Amino acid sequence: MTASTEVKIFEKPKKVAKRVAKQILKLTQKSSQPRFDIALSGGSTPKKLFKILIEKHKEAIPWERIHFWWGDERCVPPDDNESNFKMAFDILFSKIEIPQENIHRIKGENNPEIEAKRYSEEIADSLNLRGGVPVFDMVLLGLGEDGHTASIFPGQLNLIDDERICAASEHPLTGQKRITLTGKVINNASRIFFLVTGENKALRLSEIMNDDEAAKLLPAYYITPENGKLIWYIDEAASSQIA
């Protein structure tokens, strides 16, 4: 584990979400930073985080200072229950005052390859660059039971070092088309927060944390920030097999 990586273990998923929410509050309130670009993860884990951001910090967070992006999206319309945008809109964006232009939706209804290119251009036009690569202030990530992260799945490790900003990918079991940030952009972020909770993530997490041979096949294993900080926010259930 490198010096830029930390592991924080909490008793329950809600405590994980509360800590991450507090970090977002703290980081976005820094007046030295007029704008904060965050890439959200999808799936179910972020739901608790979004709920706590509203319940605990709705009035305190400077929403107008934050630009929301996605680390990945399913290629479905924005009103589809599979949509990561819909999940965030229903729980978070529909409850706050935030300029429309601060919400950078991946248009899942578009052709995947064309949308991956369009989103890449929107990111490149909006974010600062470090080493010619866009820099997110924060990237939130989840961990799939198969060791995927964002929408980079096992067997798609080429997307870790892909030169592009975003790429089209596909869920290996369902065939669902996805759009994902590449590992190059994720690893260029100033902060990468993995939120991993639940017994069903314990095996993969232990493989990654224990640097097992099996981890070498897992995309999440290759999330190692070039210049930033990686913090694993995990609960006790997910940490149960870490040596």
The correct pick among 84, 182, 188, 190 for binding ligand 6PG (CB under 6 A) is 84
Residue 136 backbone dihedrals phi, psi, to 5 degrees: -85, 140
If binding is defined by CB under 6 A, does position 169 make contact with ligand 6PG? no
Which of 28, 45, 182, 190 contacts ligand 6PG by CB under 6 A?
45
Whether 207 contacts 217, CB under 8 Å: no
From 23-31, 140-148, 157-165, 226-234, span contacting ligand 6PG (CB under 6 A):
140-148
Question: Pattern of binders to ligand 6PG over 59-78, x per CB under 6 A?
Answer: -------------x------
Q: In 3D, which of 184, 215, 202 has the Cα closest to residue 232?
A: 202
CA distances from 233 to 14, 17, 66, 159, 183 (A): 11, 8, 22, 24, 19
Residues facing 235 on adjacent strands: 10
Q: What's the rounded Cα separation, in Å, for the pair 19 and 174? A: 33
With contacts defined by CB under 6 A, name the span among 22-30, 40-48, 107-115, 183-191 that binds ligand 6PG. Answer: 40-48
User: What is the rounded distance in angstroms from the CA atom of residue 162 to the CA atom of residue 117?
Assistant: 13
Q: Does 165 bind ligand 6PG (CB under 6 A)?
A: no
Q: Establish if 137 lies at the interface with ligand 6PG (CB under 6 A).
A: no
Question: Per rule CB under 6 A, is residue 44 in the interface with ligand 6PG?
Answer: yes
Under the binding rule (CB under 6 A), the answer on residue 142 touching ligand 6PG is: yes
Beta strand pairing status for 72-74 and 36-40? unpaired
* 149 touches ligand 6PG (CB under 6 A): yes
Concatenate the DSSP letters of all residues of 21-68 into one string.
HHHHHHHHH-TT-S-EEEEEP-SSTHHHHHHHHHHHHTTTS-GGGEEE
Q: Where are the beta strands (DSSP E) in the chain?
A: 5-10, 36-40, 66-70, 72-74, 129-130, 133-134, 138-141, 166-170, 177-181, 191-196, 229-235
Closest CB to ligand 6PG among residues 149, 156? 149
Beta carbon of residue 25, minimum distance to ligand 6PG (angstroms, whole number):
22
Give the one residue of 28, 41, 120, 190 binding ligand 6PG; rule: CB under 6 A: 41
Any contact of residue 188 with ligand 6PG (CB under 6 A)?
no
> Does 156 help bind ligand 6PG (rule: CB under 6 A)?
no
Piece in contact with ligand 6PG (CB under 6 A), picked from 95-103, 123-131, 144-152, 222-230? 144-152
- Bin 78: left if φ > 0, else alpha if -120 < ψ < 50, else beta: alpha
> Which amino acid does the sequence have at 193?
F
Least spacing, CB of residue 197 vs ligand 6PG, in Å: 8
Residue nearest to ligand 6PG (CB): 142
Residues that bind ligand 6PG (CB under 6 A): 41-45, 72, 84, 142-144, 148-151
